[in-house]
Amino acid sequence: MKRTLCLLAALALALTALVVPAALAEENDNWLHIFLTEDPETLDVQMTSDSYTIPLNCFDRLVETDTVDGAAQIIPGLADSWDVSEDGLTYTFHLHEGVTFHNGDAFTADDVVFSVNRMMEHDRLAKNYDIYYGIVEGAAECFDGEAESVSGVTAVDDNTVEFKLVKPCSSFLSRLATPGGSIFNRESTEGVDDFGVNPAVCFGTGPFQVTEWELGSKVKVVANPNYFKGAPAIDGIEMFIVSDADTQRMMFENGQVDVFNFDYAESQLQWFKDNGYADQIVSGSRAGTYYFMFNTAIEPLNNPNVRKALQMAVDRQVILDQMYSGEGQVLSTFIPEGVLSFNADAEPIPYDPDQAKQILADEGYADGFDMELAITSDSDAGRKISKTLCSFFGKIGVRATVAEYDDATYKDIRHNGQLPSYYGVWSADYNDPDNFLDTFFARRNTVGRSINYDNEEILNLIDEAQGIIDFDERMAAYQKIDQAVVHDDAITLPLYQRNHLFCLNPRVHGFKVAWNGWSDMSFYPITLGD
């Protein structure tokens, strides 16, 4: 991630290369030691879409998503309970009383109102603002500079806050449970220019408080003894900034870190399995989809049968085995396991290159055709997987090549709907199918993602599905959409979803593999000991 000069100046921290600490963890050490591969983009979660370790441990949200038996469940957070009107337009949250921020200020409904308005400020350009609060009355007007505040969120009293939506949105609670829905303290945050870079002004209500950020070296958060759900069992978390996979492994071997996250160091997995650590590895499904997307506006990919032939040409298990040691599962749905509406009974996408060749011949492409696969030039994994896809396509006579673009050019061409077909990854931010199907295939998104989908029946159903209040009816609608985009119209080829994999120091207890698609998680449940 890029660090701007102003961020460096505001931090006033020394840029130092990481020196691996010489001392091993002491027997009475009650700190959890982990590593991150790079500094947080910012401590202000409204301004990042991927630096979530700090907000998940130092802030709370009105509701939370907890992992129960590997599945996601919405549970109370700063709100003890909530009511939803029959028309699905009004959400009333009853707040937990007696909650305080790290600086001792009382948490009230006004802090919720402030947090919503702060995200929607016209000049801030907050990340993913539309996901969290875009459906709230007056939010769009506020973001566009046509209003000074969001009219649809009000503090009824100190312990009650009300949201009014412009239309029913059954995923609203799930959206609020994501890091961007974190609640800030108006008193200590409003008008503070260095909130995102200065730990001294970074106050949440969470189980830990960030106290130190030594850029390029480490971040430390200490336990909040006044946490309203109970003080953490550990004294704090020390997060070393370590980008080199071999150094990460050495630190784990030496007992300097307690959790080895293979998302950060995939190359190390086999070493751990071969060197006596297999029993210390824990895993769970990662709620994310690795996929190949077709640009249906480019001939002959505008022909669904051609797209189906390309689907059948790829042995996805081979790619999963080669890239990730088989740690995951091949998908025949765009919705991964762990996300609502996942269809375990979806028809498999067969690997059948002979049938694929026959389909191409039937469609007039017995001699194959030329096509491009787009990647960004800084994506080594994307390059490797795309070249593997080209090899599979070549076996059915399709002459596929990889076209590399710098990140800015890639996004610009994609936004205009003209990017060649491409490999990508999408991880769940919140547990709802619209995080996948609406994000990619909705009418307002399909051009901007260079898919150019034109099935009006399914496009209309995507628009309608968010507002369906009956749960079973809504899940059925999303399964119909998934069936259409993957099988009937074949506008995407889901490849696989990976496993979350971690190796734990035996002194770590209470570790839960999070349901979501991130590498970041809350360490609040952790205890340490023999």
Would you state the structure tokens that stand for residue 470, as one six-digit string?
């009956």
b/e per residue, 294-332, with b = 16+ CB within 10 A? Answer: bbbebebbebbebbbbbbbbbbbeebbeebbeebbbbbb
Residue 508 has a CB neighbour count (10 Å cut-off) of 21
- pLDDT number for residue 70: 65
Alpha-carbon Rg for the chain in angstroms:
24
What is the Cα–Cα distance from 413 to 416, expressed in whole angstroms?
A: 5
pLDDT above 70: residue 146: yes
Average predicted confidence (pLDDT) for the chain:
92
* Residue 398 belongs to some domain of the structure: yes
DSSP 8-state class, residue 25: P
Kindly tell me the burial class for residue 456, based on how many C-beta atoms sit within 10 Å of its own C-beta (0-12, 13-18, 19 or more): exposed
DSSP 8-state class, residue 523: -
Percent above pLDDT 70 for the chain: 95
User: What does the pLDDT look like over 164-193, one tens digit per residue?
Assistant: 999 999 999 999 999 999 999 999 999 898
Q: Do 156 and 229 fall into the same domain?
A: yes
Would you state the structure tokens that stand for residue 425, as one six-digit string?
């990854």
Q: Do 92 and 215 fall into the same domain?
A: yes
Q: Are 353 and 395 in contact (CB under 8 A)?
A: yes
Q: Do 293 and 228 fall into the same domain?
A: no
- pLDDT number for residue 71: 72
- pLDDT number for residue 69: 73
User: What does the pLDDT look like over 466-511, one tens digit per residue?
Assistant: 999 999 999 999 999 999 999 999 999 999 999 999 999 999 999 9
- pLDDT number for residue 238: 98
Would you state the structure tokens that stand for residue 481, as one six-digit string?
């959409």
Q: Do 399 and 473 fall into the same domain?
A: yes
Q: How many structural domains does the chain have?
A: 2
What is the Cα–Cα distance from 418 to 375, expressed in whole angstroms?
A: 13
DSSP 8-state class, residue 442: S
Q: Do 493 and 414 fall into the same domain?
A: yes
CATH (domain of 175) = 3.40.190.10
Angle value at C-alpha 11, between 128 and 127, nearest 5 degrees? 5
Give the pLDDT band (50/70/90) at residue 515: confident
Instruction: Please name the residues in contact with 183: beta carbons below 8 A apart, sequence gap of 6 or more.
Output: 59, 60, 61, 62, 78, 107, 111, 112, 115, 204, 205
Kindly tell me the burial class for residue 280, based on how many C-beta atoms sit within 10 Å of its own C-beta (0-12, 13-18, 19 or more): middle
- What are the backbone dihedrals phi and psi of residue 480, each rounded to the nearest 5 degrees, phi first? -65, -40
Tell me which residue has tokens 């480490």.
Answer: 218
pLDDT above 60: residue 19: no
* Residue 252 belongs to some domain of the structure: no
3-state DSSP assignment of residue 174: helix
Maximum C-alpha span of the chain: 72
Q: Do 416 and 360 fall into the same domain?
A: yes
User: What does the pLDDT look like over 230-259, one tens digit per residue?
Assistant: 999 999 999 999 999 999 999 999 999 999
* Residue 164 belongs to some domain of the structure: yes
Q: Do 356 and 452 fall into the same domain?
A: yes
- β-sheet bridge partners, residue 292: 423, 493
Q: Are 119 and 79 in contact (CB under 8 A)?
A: no
What is the Cα–Cα distance from 432 to 18, expressed in whole angstroms?
A: 39
* Residue 177 belongs to some domain of the structure: yes
pTM above 0.85, yes or no: yes
- What are the backbone dihedrals phi and psi of residue 235, each rounded to the nearest 5 degrees, phi first? -80, -20
CATH (domain of 465) = 3.10.105.10
- pLDDT number for residue 375: 97
Sign of CA dihedral 511, 512, 517, 523: negative
- Expressed as residue numbers, the domain containing 293 is 288-498
Q: Are 197 and 117 in contact (CB under 8 A)?
A: no
Residues belonging to the chain: 530
The whole-number average pLDDT for the span 366-395 is: 96
- pLDDT number for residue 530: 82
Q: Do 226 and 333 fall into the same domain?
A: no
3-state DSSP assignment of residue 214: strand
Q: Do 449 and 524 fall into the same domain?
A: no
- pLDDT number for residue 27: 52
* Residue 180 belongs to some domain of the structure: yes
pLDDT above 70: residue 84: yes
* Residue 255 belongs to some domain of the structure: no
* Residue 272 belongs to some domain of the structure: no
pLDDT above 70: residue 455: yes
pLDDT above 50: residue 8: no
Q: Do 18 and 51 fall into the same domain?
A: yes
What is the Cα–Cα distance from 97 to 158, expressed in whole angstroms?
A: 9
Tell me which residue has tokens 């008008």.
Answer: 191
- pLDDT number for residue 298: 97
- Identify each DSSP E strand in 160-258 by its residue range: 160-164, 208-214, 218-223, 236-241
Annotate 305-372 with DSSP letters as a single string.
Answer: HHHHHHHHT--HHHHHHHHHTT-EEE-SSSSPTTSTT--TTPPP----HHHHHHHHHHTT-TT--EEE
What is the Cα–Cα distance from 282 to 272, expressed in whole angstroms?
A: 12
User: What does the pLDDT look like over 99-140, one tens digit per residue?
Assistant: 999 999 999 999 999 999 999 999 888 988 888 898 999 999
Q: Are 323 and 495 in contact (CB under 8 A)?
A: no
Percent above pLDDT 90 for the chain: 83
Q: Do 407 and 450 fall into the same domain?
A: yes
User: What does the pLDDT look like over 20-64, one tens digit per residue?
Assistant: 343 344 456 899 999 999 999 999 999 998 889 999 999 999 999
The whole-number average pLDDT for the span 429-448 is: 94
For the chain, the first-to-last Cα distance in angstroms comes to 38
* Residue 443 belongs to some domain of the structure: yes
3-state DSSP assignment of residue 117: helix
Q: Do 445 and 517 fall into the same domain?
A: no
